[in-house]
Structures are given as C-alpha cells and as structure tokens.
Structure 1
C-alpha cells in the first residue's frame, strides 16, 4: 500500500483556506473596507424635527396597544427621517455603521435607543414610526407633540411620548 505524505496537502489546504477567507470578506460583490470614513459621519448627528423635511417624507401607518389604548397612527418611518437628515446612509449598513445608534429623548428625560442595524431595511427592518397623529387626531399635550410607535414589540417601553430630540452616535462600549 502506498503511503501519502501529509506535506503534499499543506499548500492546497492553505490556498483553499485563503479562497474561503476572501469570500467571507466580500459584501454584495464588493470587498469589505475597514474604516470607510466616507460611510460614517464623524461623531454625533443631531436629527432635526424639521416640519419641512418631515413633510417631504412618505407617510406610513402604525398600530398597536399602549397603556390599555389601541392606537392607529400615521407618521414617518424613523429610518427615512435618519436618512433624510444625513444621520444614516441610504445604502445598506456595513462596517463601522453597525455600531451606531439612534437615541430618542423625551421632554421628561425618558430615553430609548435603537441600533441603526435594527432599523436598516436590509438587516433588522424594525418598523419605528415618528407621529403627530393617532386615531384621526393630533396627539394630546401629554403625548405630543411627537411620539414614537414601535409595532411588534412585546410591550411599549420604547414608544417614547413627548419626543424632543433624536441623536445618532457611536454606541459606547
């Protein structure tokens, strides 16, 4: 019986491993670039709740239960507002963008956070709606002027009422 020398397998295995590694670092046919600074806005981005910008965005509907009340609301998708504000790129997220988050703050100091990855339609695709109108009327003062609706969550803990600011920044670790 012929004996096989193990050293004859080393070079082909190394080449095969290099091919798999090269494929693993590709995204949509393009090589992954570390530190692509053009895709990541430097530092924090304050998202303005600007009526002119919001009026240009598509209206979406969101429904759910909060504090024993059924809400049927219409507003703008948070992801659309972030993109229109330059706080999130229009193309699918990758690299350093995946560590960024949107923090929503209410007048009373309440805060909720969303990773950009969970909002990105190509990744988490979580629907989050910023609204001024629910059940056919403007929000009451104790809920408005802006409110977040997050359909599909088990409880409305991130349904922020009295939204006063939205800030996108790197996640602190």
Structure 2
C-alpha cells in the first residue's frame, strides 16, 4: 500500500470528534498522563490517505503518532538508541483488544512514519464503532494494527522472561 501522509501544521480541529469528552490515557513508563480535548486540539495534525477495511480509499485525519509520543515524553530522535531500543508502545481499545508497535517504527528519524491517531475520516468525525480515536497505519498491508476505540497508550519495554 503506498499511502501518503500530509502534514497540516497546527491547524485547529474544525470538526469535533464524535466523543469530544474522550480523554486519552497515556503511561510514559513511570506515571499516567491524560490528553484531554483541549490539549488534543493544540497538537499538529496530519492527513493520511489509505484503504479502509472494505478496500475503499479514505482520507483519515488526526495527530501523527510522533506528536503523541512527544506529549508522553518518549525518547525520540538521537535519544532513542542503546538501552532505549527495546521500548514498545502498547495500544488498548475499549474492548481490551491490544496491539503493539516498536518505538523506533513510530519515530520518523528511523524511517518514514506513516501512522496517525485519527479522529476523522473523509472530513467527518469517526463513528460510534470506530470510537473517538483510532490508529491508522497507512503502510500496513493488513489492518490488524488499525486499532479502533483507543482508550490508552502505554510506553513500556520488551523484556524477555527470566531464565
């Protein structure tokens, strides 16, 4: 899939999400942070054109994942190296479905970042099924990590079990 990510700079959201009162909980590895609607509206936005589950092309709009990670205080860019390279980002949906990305694959300094936390599709708020926010990974060939109804994000480490 060869989707495109279009940055929209710091343009305020003109269409409120279907669930404007939704607060996104983010754990930075030490403590919980809350990203409320007022803070969400101040973040830079981007659009991503990709194929929805039904195969139709859609224009998704939301916040680039790197901006969410900056809000969380994640190590990015030159700070993401050495012992930080085992960091992962765990997304949990309202129905407790979970998916994970490595922190490096969400950091644009490691490659083309084409993942947003969308709150709109085709210029309209996401519907009840999709929830207030959903992960859209434009370059994923399958939609298994396009997690809908995102309620929390946890920055953690991938650690092997004890021997």
Say which is worse superposed, 119-128 or 72-81, in terms of deviation.
119-128
Number of residue pairs matched? 133
Structure with larger Rg:
1
Residue matched to 2:45: 59
Q: Extract unaligned runs of 5+ from structure 2.
A: 1-26
Q: Extract unaligned runs of 5+ from structure 1.
A: 1-40
**RMSD over equivalenced CA pairs, Å:** 2.1
Residue matched to 1:5: none
Instruction: Within 5 Å, give how 1:3-152 maps onto structure 2.
Output: 43-44=29-30, 46=32, 48-68=34-54, 69-89=56-76, 91-152=78-139
State the 1:144 CA deviation. 1.1
Distance 2:31 2:141 in 1: 29
Residue matched to 2:147: 160
Contact 1:44–1:167 (CA under 8 A) maintained in structure 2:
no
The higher-RCO structure (CA 8 Å, 6+ apart) is: 2
State the 1:110 CA deviation. 0.9
Which is richer in helix? 1
Residue matched to 1:30: none
Give me the TM-score of the superposition, normalised by structure 1. Answer: 0.69
Which is richer in strand? 2
